[in-house]
Chain A
Amino acid sequence: MHTTPEAAPGQGGSQTTLVLRLAGPLQSWGDRSAFNRRDTTPHPTKSGIVGLLAAAAGRPREADITDLIGLRLGVRIDQPGTLLRDYHTVSDYRGRPLPQAGVNAKGIQKPTSPAKDTHVTHRYYLQDAVFIAAVQGPTALVIALAEAIRRPAFPLALGRRSCTPTQPIALTTVTDGTLEDILASQPWQAGQAVKDAYRRQAQQGPQPFSPHRIDLAATLDDPAGDDTLQDVPRSFAPRERGFTTRRIRHTWLNIPTGLAPTATTHPASDTGGHDPFALLGW
């Protein structure tokens, strides 16, 4: 199995992990889309979380974010949520035709010809999703970030300015353990309706299984990982936007749900849920 280096090279010192709970009515974590179609990935991106931390710390867009990029990130999907497509139109409030991508000799965008008055854009959101994100790095930096999350300098958002988070965001800080162990030790953060549905599914499904544990998907920063994501920001400065890749590893974490295990193992389909033998020491 994979082992995590306790301290990244060049950073030294002790490592601390900050555990964040990313939950809200809407989230949108774009990683590659541009123009009129804005996708969301099914889990938070590193650029989104680095941006959230930078906003909490009050760093302006042009500020250096090298230390934040160096944090190791692990994300656990507690409640995947559902996809929402927002049909959205854009037009000029003065009634003028929209500009095209090409520019004239003065560097000003030319109007569309034939004149186009409305852009149709599609923005995708995750509805009702809950994630656990763990960021690991030097203790001093992470403690400062945890404090900043509790008193953010700029409003925090879940990938998009319109997606406000629900409290609490900063769950806890952990000083020891690998990223994977820390993610696996956090309690299940799903909502009550999702937990109830999981218990019903566990008890009534075609193949009954016990609801006291659940497998959750997780994505971890790992230099030896077998997949890459291009979502590491170089800078948030408006004219210097750019992204590099990071190596990641996908895994499943088996965590306790806190729900009671099912009492009877007898198939309920033959008895209609009424099993008199359950009271006779079966």
Chain B
Amino acid sequence: MTYLSRVRINPLRAASRTLLANPRALHGAVLAGIPDTNPDDRILWRLDTDHPRRPQLLVLTPSKPDWTHIVEQAGWPDAEGEHYAIRDYTPLLAQLAIGREFAFRLKASPVQNTDRPDKASPHRTKTAAELHHRSYRMAHRTAAHQLAWFLDRTTRWGFTIPAARTDTPAPGLEDPTDDTPPAKEVRITDRNRATFTKPGTRTPVTLTTATFEGHLRITDPGLLQAALLGGIGPSKAYGCGLLTLAPLPSTGPR
């Protein structure tokens, strides 16, 4: 049984400041909400800050969690309304079928692996020498690379991105030399670079993330279910990889 949770965060409280600023601290708070931690369980979460004064924490857990500690420390414990919502995820998984379209949002950490970087930092060189076989994992840091990273992998995750519904040029105005591929129904709504340290180490962790939003069309429900439950890309502990689906914005009858 999988559950999707949404927790309201009050950004003016002291504990919230720590949670909002540090993905590692929020990772700890999320894990503290699950009583029986099985090492095989994949816990995915994402911090949505569409409303800067009402950030929301989304968490996907294999077992039913309890968010009382986050509400007490970083929410509005005595306020009206629903402090957190926990819903069974099965209705969504039952809706996955070939050809169905959904709106999606994904915060991911696009990376590439290479064993011959152009410029390796001294730290990288040192760790690579210590670990022998490990190649370098480097973040994609431009929007173009991040988008290409995403679009290259969508079929592996069981969906495709439909072409954007843009108007074709008027007759005679097409550019015959224009060979760029047609635009897709996806855009990067947020890009971020966060740096934080883990206790006991002096080398900071650097996290480069991009948030993708758009439309997807399911091509393989099995792969998509694996991507939904298992997450996408690296840094899943730090709020990356949770793919959420929502109804397409209705355009209504014309």
Interface set of A (CB-CB < 8 Å, partner B): 192, 199, 211, 258-260, 262-264, 269-282
Interface size on B, residues (CB 8 A): 28
Number of A-B contacts (CB under 8 A): 65
B128 at the interface (CB under 8 A from A): no
Q: Is the CB of A274 within 8 A of B105?
A: yes
Q: Is the CB of A277 within 8 A of B85?
A: yes
Q: Which of B50, B51, B92 contacts A280 (CB 8 A)?
A: B92
Q: Is the CB of B252 within 8 A of A259?
A: yes
- Chain B contacts for A264, CB-based, 8 A: 247
On whether A278 and B50 interact (CB within 8 A), knowing A258-B253, A259-B253, the answer reads no
Q: Is the CB of B87 within 8 A of A280?
A: yes
Q: Is the CB of A280 within 8 A of B247?
A: no
On whether A270 and B56 interact (CB within 8 A), knowing A192-B254, A258-B253, A279-B246, the answer reads yes
Closest to B60 in A: A276
Interface centre among B51, B85, B213 (most CB of A within 10 A): B51
- Chain A contacts for B235, CB-based, 8 A: none
Interface set of B (CB-CB < 8 Å, partner A): 4, 6, 48, 50-51, 54, 56, 58, 85, 87-89, 91-92, 95, 102-103, 105, 213, 244-247, 249-250, 252-254
CA distance in complex: A199, B51 (Å): 23
Q: Is the CB of B56 within 8 A of A278?
A: no
- Chain A contacts for B246, CB-based, 8 A: 274-276, 278-279
A–B pairs, 11, beta carbons within 8 Å = A211-B252, A259-B253, A263-B250, A264-B247, A271-B48, A271-B50, A273-B249, A274-B246, A278-B247, A279-B245, A281-B87
Closest to B244 in A: A276
- Chain B contacts for A269, CB-based, 8 A: 50-51
Interface centre among B54, B88, B95, B250 (most CB of A within 10 A): B250
Q: Which 9 A-B pairs have the closest CB atoms?
A: A272-B50, A276-B244, A280-B87, A270-B51, A274-B105, A260-B252, A279-B92, A270-B54, A274-B246
Q: How far is the CB of A259 from chain B (nearest CB, A)?
A: 6
CA distance in complex: A258, B252 (Å): 10
- Chain A contacts for B51, CB-based, 8 A: 269-270, 272
CA distance in complex: A278, B249 (Å): 11
Chain A interface mostly: loop
Q: Is the CB of A281 within 8 A of B247?
A: no
- Chain A contacts for B4, CB-based, 8 A: 276-277, 280
Q: Is the CB of A282 within 8 A of B252?
A: no
- Chain B contacts for A279, CB-based, 8 A: 91-92, 95, 102, 245-247
Q: Is the CB of A263 within 8 A of B50?
A: no
Q: Is the CB of A276 within 8 A of B58?
A: yes
Interface centre among A263, A272, A281 (most CB of B within 10 A): A272
- Chain A contacts for B58, CB-based, 8 A: 276
Q: Is the CB of B56 within 8 A of A271?
A: yes
CA distance in complex: A258, B102 (Å): 25
- Chain A contacts for B88, CB-based, 8 A: 280
Interface centre among B50, B88, B252 (most CB of A within 10 A): B252
Closest to B46 in A: A276
- Chain A contacts for B244, CB-based, 8 A: 274, 276
Closest to B87 in A: A280
On whether A280 and B91 interact (CB within 8 A), knowing A270-B54, A274-B103, the answer reads yes
- Chain B contacts for A259, CB-based, 8 A: 252-253
Q: How far is the CB of A196 from chain B (nearest CB, A)?
A: 8
Interface centre among A262, A269, A271, A276 (most CB of B within 10 A): A276
Closest to B88 in A: A280
Sample of 4 more A-B contacts, CB < 8 Å, known A272-B50, A276-B244: A258-B253, A260-B253, A263-B250, A279-B247
CA distance in complex: A258, B254 (Å): 10
- Chain A contacts for B91, CB-based, 8 A: 279-281
Q: How far is the CB of A89 from chain B (nearest CB, A)?
A: 40
Q: How far is the CB of B211 from chain A (nearest CB, A)?
A: 10
Q: Is the CB of B6 within 8 A of A277?
A: yes
CA distance in complex: A181, B166 (Å): 44
On whether A199 and B56 interact (CB within 8 A), knowing A271-B48, A271-B50, A274-B105, the answer reads no
- Chain B contacts for A277, CB-based, 8 A: 4, 6, 85, 87
- Chain B contacts for A192, CB-based, 8 A: 254
Q: Is the CB of B50 within 8 A of A270?
A: yes
On whether A260 and B245 interact (CB within 8 A), knowing A270-B50, A279-B92, A280-B88, the answer reads no
- Chain B contacts for A280, CB-based, 8 A: 4, 87-89, 91-92
- Chain A contacts for B87, CB-based, 8 A: 277, 280-282
Q: How far is the CB of A144 from chain B (nearest CB, A)?
A: 38
Closest to B252 in A: A260
Closest to B104 in A: A274
